[in-house]
Structure 1
């Protein structure tokens, strides 16, 4: 397929992800236009006067469906809509309602420092009458060495309720617990093992992000409530076992989860060993720490993992 077959318009093109995708498309010679709330041009004019073939909606999750409904009133039957939000059921239903070609995608990453998609996952949800446009975008991403995954909207949101919803929820409540317990944070950091240092880093990383984005990821995914209800039920079982000092029940719970993970338990051990060894040698060692400041070369660590 000729790379110049389709032109692309990005709504929200001055945001973090919008800018990133603009740079990717331009790097491959794709005619690309961007629009934001600060643009002097109206959204209707942007969508209807530039011969844009694929309109990518890259805005906040909570306004995505509203934007889709708005542009659906004036785009042509030949224009294709695509959203890039972290939830899919709502946006996919909204795009289906307007009766134009559509598909959804979810980039599973923040914009890389390299500006390229090397090794990053992008989930695609096929829509209707958009096979050529979807294949066109996939082709660009594959040229940039990304991994393409396929999913339905329902399956996507169910999986994201674990990958994002539950994991972010744990990160937030983990730090909430540290704060509520009133223990000395400096001593906690000073006492950390390499494995615990990794947990602290991941929780700290989550809480260093934009609260509105992460709040919408929690609130807008309808599958999160069911997942969190399951989490509380299972957590209560474990809590009761610990409170009752029931080691036999604890062993049963623990071993059941190990069996469920199967080969991924050993794989997790092996791969995390590489990261933990790196942390021990480069961050927690006296050589790597000077007045609690250190230089962390993530590229070196990733090379070791790969």
Structure 2
């Protein structure tokens, strides 16, 4: 570049730096306003996530952006990222306590990551939280005395044994709940062990979420629903969405949503390992969608193997779902080996028809995710 070009670029870059500083000041002002909103919501017990308000605001900003010659998707991307930060900040001021006369909460397995998360959320809502871990059973009688709720979050393989062995002498009005990712056996075990209120919960997220805004908690009703209705309201105040399901329907869905998906990721990672694939080299040639897929597989292996073994081995029905997947894979492989391209195209069309309107919806949703993945690439 010649000297004039260099000077012109430096001048423009200085102007951009000035605008960036203004943006930072505006962001700081917005976060301060969000903190004030959070304080008002805390006092009123308003959920931190308001989907109708968010949708209306985004639609308005998109229209305004378009009228200014700015990409509507750009302003939506920026605002969604800001809102995510806002949800993280809003919980710092705490939440309204729905049930003020509950008594203390005992979290069995409270030293685990999910137990710590729910302990934090309950504490932020003003509840007294006590933890009971595997070496604390000698103190259990004292901890359970006067408890308003006992929340079980222990490994799946020992959940029912813990309930049947240790949770049969709770106060009669105490709520017994669990956070296990299967629901049939644990809910029945709680109903058998405890004569008071019982509810099964399954948080459809990991313990590393910064906020419960937009997350899903599945609820399987057990007994005396009116006694724990406050808990569902409290979870909604945290920003989560409640989905009610029968335990058996939930478990059937989890065979596909969790067990088969995690097992498929395990096998994919196992295959890469046995092939001694060069991940650095794969990333050099990766499209955004492959990078995202590889990231989701890698994410699995960054976590606790015992947890995922529990999820995959927990239900006998998972073996059926995984076996069906293998049979379909083998049939598709046979089709590939036969060289029957026309049959492949026909099956592709059949599956696309089965997906229906979900296919273009998922294409739209994934486009934004893929753009984010591409933005994060370095070099």
Distance 1:60 1:40 in 2: 16
**1:201 aligned residue (276, 280, 295):** 295
Q: Using a 3 Å threshold, how does the CA distance of structure 1 residues 264 and 42 change in structure 2: closer, same or farther?
A: same
Q: Cα offset for 1:113?
A: 5.0
Q: Is the 8 A contact 2:190 2:198 kept in 1?
A: yes
Residue in 2 aligned with 1:212?
A: 306
Q: Is the 8 A contact 1:3 1:29 kept in 2?
A: no
Q: Is the 8 A contact 1:120 1:146 kept in 2?
A: yes
Q: Using a 3 Å threshold, how does the CA distance of structure 1 residues 95 and 247 change in structure 2: closer, same or farther?
A: same
Q: Using a 3 Å threshold, how does the CA distance of structure 1 residues 67 and 130 change in structure 2: closer, same or farther?
A: farther
Distance 2:168 2:232 in 1: 27
Residue in 2 aligned with 1:109?
A: 205
Q: Cα offset for 1:246?
A: 0.7
Distance 1:113 1:236 in 2: 37
- Structure 2 residue matching 1:149: 3-state secondary structure: strand
Alignment of 1:15-30 (within 5 A): 15-30=112-127
Distance 1:22 1:57 in 2: 12
* TM-align CA RMSD: 1.8
- Structure index of larger Rg: 2
**1:262 aligned residue (329, 349, 356):** 356
Q: Using a 3 Å threshold, how does the CA distance of structure 1 residues 281 and 55 change in structure 2: closer, same or farther?
A: closer
Q: Cα offset for 1:99?
A: 4.5
Distance 1:75 1:44 in 2: 9
**2:158 aligned residue (38, 45, 63):** 63
Q: Deviations over 1:197-255 (max 9, x none)?
A: 01000000111110000000000123211211211121121111001111121112211
Bigger helix share: 2
Q: Is the 8 A contact 1:44 1:71 kept in 2?
A: no
TM-score (norm 1): 0.86
Tell me, which stretches of 5 or more residues in structure 1 are unaligned? 290-306
Residue in 2 aligned with 1:120?
A: 215
1:132 aligns with 2:227: yes
Q: Cα offset for 1:73?
A: 2.8
Q: Deviations over 1:114-146 (max 9, x none)?
A: 3x311111000000124321x121111111111
Tell me, which stretches of 5 or more residues in structure 2 are unaligned? 1-96
Q: Deviations over 1:88-132 (max 9, x none)?
A: 111112112224231100011122453x31111100000012432
Distance 1:233 1:41 in 2: 50
What number of residue pairs does the alignment pair up?
Answer: 281
For structure 1, which segment, 258-267 or 28-37, has the greater mean C-alpha deviation from structure 2 after superposition? 28-37
- Structure 2 residue matching 1:77: 3-state secondary structure: coil
For structure 1, which segment, 230-239 or 95-104, has the greater mean C-alpha deviation from structure 2 after superposition? 95-104
Alignment of 1:81-230 (within 5 A): 81-100=176-195, 101-114=197-210, 116-133=211-228, 135-230=229-324
TM-score (norm 2): 0.70
